[in-house]
């Protein structure tokens, strides 16, 4: 009887060690994979974060209300006017556009920063609102002609749209129900 109890005790204590190692291994793998995912996402968005800044990038991703504006220069140096506005918060494809706007591979980055474009270059804008009653948290203006560019209104510099340009122009045309270009 004594022998059976000793074997049973050894079996119980021996089985807990492999189980502990299994749980520790799964936990270590989960931490490693989570770390890789954070690193990978950071490498996919680090240039956009540097250009937009974390506050604008967050607004692009999370703003509950988004408006698309058609733009026209006012005649005042460096100023333009939204001649039409449309709430696109629930527009098809907006989720994908938000993601694309903060992904580095969608832009044509160069070692030389793009210079200031004339005010009449900017065709449309997307305004991101933090709340329903607030002023826009971020306004991105887009030049959708030929090489295309994006700028944050009120900040210097622009970035060439690269592969994002054609899709953005098509989305804006479909969403605003009419061609998007300068008159």
Question: pLDDT tens per residue, the chain (183 residues)?
Answer: 455 555 555 555 545 788 888 898 899 999 988 987 777 766 667 888 888 988 999 999 999 999 999 988 776 766 788 888 999 999 999 999 999 998 888 888 874 555 667 777 888 999 999 876 777 889 999 988 877 888 898 888 888 888 888 889 899 988 887 666 554
Residue 128, both tokens: 């991101």
Structure tokens at 40: 């990978």
What pLDDT is recorded for position 183? 46
What does the alpha-carbon distance between residue 90 and residue 140 come to, in Å, rounded to a whole number?
18
Longest dimension (CA), the chain: 101
Which structure tokens are listed for 102? 């903060």
Is 8 within the bounds of a domain? no
Residue 20 belongs to some domain of the structure: no
Residue 128 lies inside a defined structural domain of this protein: yes
Question: Per the domain annotation, does 103 fall within a domain?
Answer: yes
- DSSP structure class, residue 143: E
Domain enclosing residue 102, as ranges: 53-175
């Amino acid at each position: 009887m004594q022998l059976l109890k000793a074997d049973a005790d050894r079996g119980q204590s021996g089985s807990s060690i492999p189980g502990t190692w299994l749980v520790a291994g799964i936990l270590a793998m989960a931490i490693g994979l989570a770390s890789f995912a954070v690193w990978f996402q950071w490498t996919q968005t680090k240039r956009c974060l540097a250009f937009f800044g974390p506050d604008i990038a967050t607004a692009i991703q999370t703003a509950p209300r988004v408006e698309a504006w058609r733009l026209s220069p006012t005649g005042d140096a460096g100023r333009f006017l939204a001649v039409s506005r449309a709430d696109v918060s629930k527009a098809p494809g907006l989720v994908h556009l938000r993601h694309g706007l903060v992904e580095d591979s969608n832009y044509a980055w160069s070692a030389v920063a793009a210079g200031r474009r004339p005010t009449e270059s900017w065709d449309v804008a997307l305004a991101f609102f933090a709340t329903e009653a607030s002023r826009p948290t971020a306004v991105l203006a887009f030049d959708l002609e030929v090489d295309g560019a994006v700028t944050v209104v009120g900040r210097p510099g622009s970035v060439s749209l690269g592969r994002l340009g054609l899709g953005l122009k098509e989305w804006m045309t479909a969403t605003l129900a009419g061609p998007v270009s300068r008159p």
